[in-house]
Amino acid sequence: MSNDYYDAIFIGSGPGSLCAAAILAKANKKVIVLERHYVPGGFSHTFKRKNGFEWDVGVHYVGRVDSEDSMIRKTFDYITDGKLKWDNMGEIYDVAIIEGKEYKFYDTVEAQIDNLIGHFPEEEVAIRKYFELVKRFDKSVVMYFGDRVLNYWLSALIGWFLKRKFYKYSDRTTYDTIRELTSNETLIAVLCAQCGNYGLTPKFSSFAIHALIVDHYKFGGNYPRGGASSIYRKIIDVIVDNGGKVAIKAEVKEVIIEDKIAKGVELANGDRIMGKAVVSNAGAKNTFNKLLPKHANIPEYIITELNEIQASTSHICLYVGLDKSDEELKLPKWNYWIYKGEDFEKGYEDYLNDPDDPPLVYISFSSAKDSEWPEAHPGKSTIQVLGIASYDWFTKWEDSRWMKRGSDYEDFKEKLKEGLLQKLYEIVPQTKGHIEICEISTPLSTKHFANYSRGEIYGLEHTPKRFRVNWLRVKTHVKKFYLTGQDVITVGVGGALFSGVLTAMALLKTDVFRRILKYEVPKEIE
């Protein structure tokens, strides 16, 4: 592979890289995607264990893809040649339990409004204003992210005009914005119950990311048929079918910069791969702190601003395999968000100081969502139970080797595992006695496999400050060096996907969205 010369070299194989690489490959460009892990796909990959169990690690549901006319669905169709299929999660896709009381999230705005009014009849005006606010915000999004594909100088010239309406929402926290509509703290907690999707509590998160998530799921949730790995497998098929390459266990050590221009990359094994352009999907902190050489002359303000933005939250995840099917155990397709109290910030703070009783637990029944699972894994089912975690809990083991971190580490993991298991049994007690395999991952697992320095899964924190960072865009100060991935747009599959589209637009210098909108899935695939 190092003997060839490429139109674009992609560092990392998350959805952003894969999306951009597929678009370029379909435009007859020669591309290569380099992945340090032994499995491609970033957080869209899955892993397997004995006895036929398989779990996703990051994709638990995706919004809007059930509509063939939505931009996210059309983008997925374009980069997979229409071969990626989706299973709808049903009328109810999320259930929040706050202080023991249950609140359901429905797959239409009207049903969601009616449901909330049923719980909070005295807050009808506030509830309707809230959804109107989210709708108004949505109109500012295209202009803001459109600015992300511009050069620095052009953004400096017209960017203020493109972003001014977006900033009205992004400059304020989620809590402050909703608090202007209602003083009912329970209602605020319910409206913010999905904040785990962006990893930041309402008093710290930008209202922009909150509104983006609410809008993304306003028509419910969907799951990739065949499991989360179907996403990267179908995209890679298109890349390879169009002459592109995807390499695993190909860790990039450094970007090669000559005469202030990105010329290629040097791998950890010493190989050099050269090309016309280099794209990093390794995250902003990894890219600017590790991959770019000193002579790249990164402006000091970039490093300063980057260090001022914290990495997003770390997490622990319990992977559960059961010896009965979802149907036999009557497991739902919807996800659970379980909160100990309505003051999310206090719950998080107490837990991070003393990790006994998790204030938030998220439960995903991935096998129940996948229509192909029963035939591929008869008599089996899987569940993921996620909780927040502090990377600081694990710093004393961060220099140890994976799977060889010592008995004290294993004992701490066991304590965390028991806390998550108890939450699972509270929600679905019928699973007790049917667990065949149960493993827990920590932020050190995420760091080992995904190379995020604090085991974060959501990149940079989605604070108001993050959305004001102007250099966080597709084009960088280094010629022929580009960014893609969730740090360019936002967290999640959709954010990463559209970052790939913007990156492809910058590389091809053409309106890729027009190509996507014109694409029609072949009838034999429909």
Name the residue ranges covered by the structural domains of the chain.
5-85+225-309+461-518, 90-220, 313-450
- DSSP letter for 288, please: I
Q: What is the mean pLDDT of the chain?
A: 94
- Strand-pair partners of 440: 318
DSSP reduced 3-state for 55 = strand
Has domain 313-450 been given CATH number 3.40.50? no
Q: Are 282 and 289 in contact (CB under 8 A)?
A: no
pLDDT of 42 over the 80 cut: yes
Mean pLDDT computed over 247-269: 97
- For 180, residues 6+ apart whose C-beta sits below 8 A from its C-beta are none
Q: Which two tokens stand for residue 293?
A: 């050489």
Which pLDDT score is estimated for 404?
84
For the full predicted model, state whether its pTM sits above 0.85.
yes
Confidence of residue 526 (pLDDT cuts 50, 70, 90): low
Helix, coil or strand: residue 104 = strand
Mean pLDDT of 113-121: 98
Q: Is pLDDT at 502 greater than 90 in this prediction? A: yes
Instruction: Dump the DSSP string for 169-223.
Output: HHTSBHHHHHHTT---HHHHHHHTTTGGGTT--TTTSBHHHHHHHHHHTTT--EE
The SS3 call for residue 131 is helix
**524 pLDDT higher than 80:** no
Render pLDDT for 196-255 as a digit per residue (tens, 0 to 9): 999 999 999 999 999 999 999 999 999 999 999 999 999 999 999 999 999 999 999 999
Best CA proximity match to 383, nearest among 443, 462, 437: 437
Q: Does domain 5-85+225-309+461-518 have CATH number 3.10.20.30?
A: no
Cα–Cα dist 518/520, whole Å:
6
How many other C-beta atoms can be found within 10 angstroms of the C-beta atom of residue 519?
A: 15
220 token code pair: 């419910």
Among all chains, which residue has been given the structure tokens 């549901």? 61
pLDDT at 354: 78
With a cut of 70, say whether residue 460 has pLDDT above it: yes
